[in-house]
């Protein structure tokens, strides 16, 4: 290989490496180890949808293992993914496992914009959309196994699938749940 080609290839590899490292930084000092990161996609994706007068998360229920990352993607409208943890956004109650960090995407208004959260603490997480909470836009993620303050009741602003149903099915679509 000529020297120019080696340098060019090395430059590409270095650029790719720096780009990858840039995505590894996080300003989240959450002691739970959970992280929030802007993103451009992921395998565990929850869409935030406005369809006519319906506002919902798709799927409304999702199962992941501890350490996995969920990508919240704005499909249409203006939405957020905000954990029910007292003092987080408009949350007046806590519906995440003990020791779990709160997450809040802020309002995402452009189609295709994403937000990622890595779930490290096992248990059940309920979350809502800040602008559509009063319209029942809520969702549930079960990490590893059901547990925590969200078990045994529904979020104060809407209904979600039972945690065991989410575990059994892996994901519960909004249409299957609400239909």
Alpha-carbon separation of residue 164 from 28, 55, 70, 119 (angstroms): 31, 24, 19, 18
Residues in the chain: 179
For 18-43, b/e burial (b = at least 16 CB within 10 A) is eeeeeeeeeeeeeebebbbbebeebe
The 3-state DSSP class for residue 130 equals helix
Sequence-distant (6+) residues with CB within 8 A of 142 are 61, 62, 63, 64, 123, 124, 125, 163, 166, 167
Sequence-distant (6+) residues with CB within 8 A of 43 are none
Q: CB 67: neighbour CB atoms within 10 A?
A: 12
* Residue 137 annotated in ligand binding: yes
Helices (H), the chain: 3-22, 163-169, 174-178
> Binding-site residues, please?
129, 132, 137
> Binding-site residues for Cu cation, please?
129, 132, 137
């Amino acid at each position: 290989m000529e020297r120019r080609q080696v340098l060019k290839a090395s430059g590409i590899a270095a650029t790719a490496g720096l780009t990858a490292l840039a995505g590894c930084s996080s300003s989240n000092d959450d002691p739970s180890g959970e992280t929030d990161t802007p993103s451009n996609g992921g395998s565990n994706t929850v869409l935030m949808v406005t369809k006519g007068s319906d506002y919902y998360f798709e799927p409304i229920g999702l199962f992941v293992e501890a350490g996995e990352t969920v990508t919240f993607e704005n499909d249409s409208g203006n939405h957020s993914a905000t954990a029910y943890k007292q003092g987080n956004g408009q949350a007046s109650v806590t519906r995440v496992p003990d020791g779990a960090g709160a997450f809040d995407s802020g309002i995402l208004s452009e189609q295709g914009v994403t937000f990622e959260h890595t779930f490290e603490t096992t248990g059940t997480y309920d979350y809502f959309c800040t602008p559509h909470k009063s319209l029942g836009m809520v969702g549930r993620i079960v990490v590893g196994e059901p547990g925590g303050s969200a078990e045994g009741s529904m979020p104060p602003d809407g209904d979600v699938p039972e945690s065991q149903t989410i575990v059994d099915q892996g994901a519960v679509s909004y249409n299957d749940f609400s239909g």
